[in-house]
């Protein structure tokens, strides 16, 4: 199994833990990830909120690089994954846009590179059976609230990722790892995303209601697959505590971190120390068996 | 909630311009309000997505660009995903943002356009986003120097913030994209 792996900008800063755990899990499962040389930003939310052409061309520049590698593109950041798929969709459907993008890239790109999320690779290519066989420590009944957020599933027509209102990819993985995936209603609610710095008030309110629901469902931790969801839910627990007095103390872990633990990898190799709310309860539970 | 459309609207109605920009078939909207029901920020903003849609229908002009929903929207796309008529409501909001930038609408709370500019400026310079540079430029512009600063030492210690700008990106291609974007669409700033 060999793929072109697009890390995304946050892999070099706020989401180094996601990047580190993705690489570690891939190595452990025999997945070969190749970084396209000179990869660049997908434009993220700021791109599509500013200019449509920018929002399509920035991802296209990366997919053109991947096309040369003749591999499928694998992305773990939900935001980059979303921008890539939307750009592909629009370029393939609009010949005029394809032409204008091609002029900026100084090469033609037809929108045909297959873009996949790392979760899809885990579930569809590796498979739950193989993952179960590779487990060294099960999650031992750990109660996990699986949180998908917005960008993995929306817009459904383009993303075609799981059920857009009640996705189960993370849940199936958690169950296969011996955890208890919780039934809760906030799987695809929004955490406030890119408004983290500009409208912290909005992010605090939205993240608070998600954390509140996870806490009521009895979650030991929330599993995520998006750097924006992770940082908002993790970092903003301090602000929520300051503003409302509520102290959730719920660790927000990447699914790749959980899987890495179960595969017997060291917590340090999975970036566990980088979490703002320490995941000691998770680590103790998995180590205890 | 009653809707108010000013009789003396500013400039011509925005509906055609929005439709042209995002391709949304706005005539299909029958005000079922599913977009507003699912909108996570509707309760935090003065206006709701279904109201924006109706105002566009009724011929609202530039005054709509000052509506707080335009920049409070978190681009979660729940509205588009749930619209029974398949209208890309989030695309309509993106178009309104673009028009707000082009026509110099008043600065919204939190100055999201400044944040976006600060973010994209680092992408233009380094080929990838550079958080420290973006945060500094945004704080410089808003004067909100102290917000979140108490978290920086821990984040730095944990390696959650990169001190140095990113390296290794294909900056040439990115520079061409930004150049073309500015030529095609007018200045994004």
Per-residue pLDDT, B185: 62
Q: What is the mean pLDDT of residues A53-61?
A: 97
Mean pLDDT within A247-274: 97
pLDDT at residue A105, as a whole number:
97
Burial class, A39, CB count within 10 angstroms (exposed 0-12 / middle 13-18 / buried 19+): buried
Question: How much is the average pLDDT of B91-115?
Answer: 94
* Alpha-carbon distance values, A288 to A138, A156, A280 (Å): 10, 40, 12
C-alpha to C-alpha distance for A143 and A174, rounded to whole angstroms: 9
- C-alpha dihedral, B145 to B147 to B153 to B155, nearest 10°: -120
Sequence-ordered list of residues with C-beta below 8 angstroms from that of A272, at least 6 positions apart, any chain: A17, A253, A257, A279, A283
Shortest Cα distance, chain B CAs vs residue A244, angstroms: 17
CB contact under 8 A, B120 and A206: no
Query: Residue A3 — φ and ψ, nearest 5°?
Result: -140, 155
The pLDDT assigned to B9 comes to: 73
Contact A154, B80 (CB under 8 A): yes
Report ipTM (2 d.p.): 0.95
Distance CA A267, CA A96 (A): 49
Residues in chain B with CB shorter than 8 Å from the CB of A44 are 119, 129
A148-170: average pLDDT? 96
Mean pLDDT (chain B) is: 91
Chain A touched by B81 (CB under 8 Å): yes
Alpha-carbon distance B37 to nearest alpha carbon in chain A (angstroms) = 12
Q: pLDDT, tens digit, for every residue of B121-158?
A: 999 999 999 999 999 999 999 998 888 889 988 998 99
Q: What is the mean pLDDT of residues B167-176?
A: 97
Give the model's confidence band at B57: pLDDT under 50 very low, under 70 low, under 90 confident, else very high: very high
pLDDT band at B173 (very low <50, low <70, confident <90, very high): very high
Mean of all residue pLDDT scores within chain A: 97
Average pLDDT over residues A206-224: 98
Measured distance CA(A41)–CA(B76) in Å, rounded: 20
Q: Is pLDDT of B186 > 60?
A: no
Of A61, A156, A200, the CB nearest to B174: A61
Helix, strand, coil abundance in chain A, percent, nearest 5: 55, 10, 35
Average pLDDT value for residue range A138-151: 97
In this prediction, residue B48 carries a pLDDT of 96
pLDDT at B146: 86
* pLDDT one-digit tens code per residue, A82-131: 999 999 999 999 999 999 999 999 999 999 999 999 999 999 999 999 99
Cα–Cα distance list, B122 to A36, A41, B107, B148, B186 (Å): 21, 10, 22, 20, 19
Q: Which of B24, B46, B76 to mutate to test the interface with A (most CBs of A within 10 A)?
A: B76
pLDDT value of residue A111: 97
pLDDT of residue B11: 77
In the structure, what pLDDT confidence band is assigned to residue B12 with cuts at 50, 70 and 90?
A: confident
> Residue B189 above 70 pLDDT?
no
What pLDDT is stored for residue B7 in this prediction?
66
Q: How many Å from the N-terminal Cα to the C-terminal Cα in chain A?
A: 31
Q: Spell out which residues of chain A touch residue B174, defining contact as CB-CB under 8 Å.
A: 40-41, 58, 61
Please give the Cα distance from A188 to A139 (Å, whole number): 24
CA distance A16 to chain B (A): 7
- pLDDT score recorded for residue B135: 93
Say if residues A6 and A39 touch (Cβ distance below 8 Å): yes
What mean pLDDT is predicted for residues A182-201? 96
Contact A80, A30 (CB under 8 A): no
The Cβ-side half-sphere exposure at A11, using a 13 Å CA radius, reads 24
Find the closest chain A residue to B122 by CA distance. Answer: A41
Percent of chain B with pLDDT over 90: 76
Quick one: pLDDT band at residue B184, thresholds 50, 70, 90? confident
Residue B187 pLDDT greater than 70, yes or no: no
Residue B92, pLDDT > 70, answer yes
Confidence of residue A287 (pLDDT cuts 50, 70, 90): confident
Count Cβ atoms within 10 A of the Cβ of residue A100 and give its class: 0-12 exposed, 13-18 middle, 19 or more buried. Answer: middle
What is the reported pLDDT for B144?
84
- Residue of chain B whose Cα is closest to the Cα of A49: B94
Say if CB A138 and CB A177 are below 8 A apart.
yes
The mean pLDDT value for A235-248 works out to 96
Angle between helices A95-105 and A78-93 (to 10 degrees): 120
B147 contacts in chain A (CB < 8 Å): 197, 200
* Cis bond before residue A155 (omega within 30° of 0): yes
Q: How far from B2 is each of A84, B8, B41, B51, B182, CA to CA, in Å?
A: 40, 18, 19, 10, 40
> Do A248 and A207 form a contact (C-beta atoms < 8 A)?
no
Distances (CA, A) of A259 to A17, A122, A123, A144, B161: 13, 10, 12, 12, 25
């Amino acid at each position: 199994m060999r793929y072109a792996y697009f890390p995304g900008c946050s892999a070099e800063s706020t989401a180094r833990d996601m990047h580190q755990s993705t690489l570690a899990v891939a190595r452990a499962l025999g997945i070969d990830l190749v970084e396209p040389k000179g990869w660049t930003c997908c434009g993220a939310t700021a791109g599509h909120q500013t200019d449509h052409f920018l929002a399509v061309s920035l991802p296209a520049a990366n997919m053109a690089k991947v096309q040369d590698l003749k591999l499928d593109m694998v992305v773990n950041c939900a935001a980059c994954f979303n921008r890539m798929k939307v750009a592909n969709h629009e370029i393939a459907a609009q010949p005029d846009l394809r032409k204008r993008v091609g002029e900026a890239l100084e090469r033609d790109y037809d929108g045909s590179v297959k873009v996949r999320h790392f979760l899809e690779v885990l579930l569809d290519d590796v498979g739950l059976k193989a993952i179960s066989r590779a487990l060294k420590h099960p999650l031992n009944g750990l109660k996990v609230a699986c949180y998908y957020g917005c960008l993995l599933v929306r817009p459904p027509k383009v993303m075609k990722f799981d059920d857009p209102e009640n996705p189960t990819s993370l849940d199936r993985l958690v169950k296969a790892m011996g955890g208890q995936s919780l039934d809760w209603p906030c799987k695809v609610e929004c955490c406030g995303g890119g408004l983290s710095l500009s409208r912290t008030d909005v992010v605090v309110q939205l993240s608070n209601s998600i954390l509140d629901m996870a806490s009521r469902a009895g979650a030991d931790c929330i599993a995520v697959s998006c750097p924006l969801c992770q940082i908002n839910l993790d970092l903003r627990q301090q602000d929520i505590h300051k503003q409302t007095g509520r102290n959730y103390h719920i660790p927000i872990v990447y699914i790749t971190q959980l899987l890495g633990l179960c595969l017997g990898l060291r917590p340090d190799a999975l970036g566990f120390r980088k979490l703002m709310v320490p995941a000691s309860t998770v680590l103790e539970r998995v180590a205890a068996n | 909630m009653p809707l108010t459309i000013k009789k003396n609207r500013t400039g011509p109605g925005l509906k055609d311009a929005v439709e042209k920009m995002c391709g949304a078939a706005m005539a299909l909207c029958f005000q079922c309000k599913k977009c507003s029901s699912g909108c996570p920020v509707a309760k935090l903003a003065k206006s709701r997505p279904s109201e924006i849609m109706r105002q566009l229908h009724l011929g609202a002009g530039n005054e709509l660009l000052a509506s707080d929903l335009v920049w409070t929207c978190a681009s979660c796309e729940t509205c588009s995903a749930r619209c029974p008529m398949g209208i890309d409501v989030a695309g309509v909001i993106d178009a309104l943002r673009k028009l707000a930038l082009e026509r110099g609408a008043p600065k919204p709370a939190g100055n999201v356009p400044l944040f976006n500019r600060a973010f994209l400026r680092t992408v233009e310079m380094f080929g990838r986003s550079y958080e420290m540079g973006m945060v500094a430029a945004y704080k410089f512009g808003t004067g909100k120097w102290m917000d979140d600063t108490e978290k920086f030492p821990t984040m730095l210690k944990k390696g959650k913030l990169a001190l140095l700008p990113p390296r290794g990106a294909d900056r040439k291609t990115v520079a061409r994209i930004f150049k073309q974007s500015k030529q095609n669409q007018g200045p994004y700033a």
